[in-house]
Amino acid sequence: MELEIGEKNYIEYKVLAKDLAKNLEISIEDNFPEVFSTARLVALMECSAAKLMIPIVKNGELSVGVEVNMKHLAPTLEGDIVKSEATFMGMEGKLYKFSIEAFDTGGKVGECIHTRAIVTEDRLMSGANKRLAK
């Protein structure tokens, strides 16, 4: 089975307190707002693309993010629902390319071009462990 160009899938997600930029503060100098963080929006967008790939990922394989080119266009408050919709754009060699848009109740909050790859879990973990052995 393969993905067809133009195939779409989406995820709807309720923004929780843990998803707010304020919770990403690392030092006391940080002063982030109490809105949906860019990091969590990227994660939601990645997940909507990964959801499209579920039928083509075989046992022992994973789909992994390779690149994200994203614009966070508007803030979203805690409790609002964000819908991320991924559209498969086609292949770039062995990479799967997606166009993703995200909306809350006020309109468009983000847009993204995202690429993913399919790898075996064993190869991924072996590569990660080899990096530590240096």
pLDDT at residue 134, rounded to an integer: 63
pLDDT above 80 for 125: yes
Which domain CATH number covers 79? 3.10.129.10
- The alpha carbon of 128 is separated from its chain's Cα centroid by a whole number of angstroms, namely 21
Q: What is the tens place of the pLDDT at every residue in 62-119? A: 999 999 999 999 999 999 999 999 999 999 999 999 999 999 999 999 999 999 999 9
Is residue 69 included in any domain, yes or no? yes
> What's the mean per-residue pLDDT of the chain?
95
Amino acid symbol at 95: L
Rounded to two decimals, what is the model's pTM?
Answer: 0.92
Percent of the chain with pLDDT over 70: 99
Give the count of domains, the chain: 1
Residue 36 in any domain: the answer is: yes
Range of the domain at 67: 8-132
CA distance 88 to 48: 11
Contacts with 51 (C-beta within 8 Å, 6 or more apart), sequence order: 9, 10, 11, 86
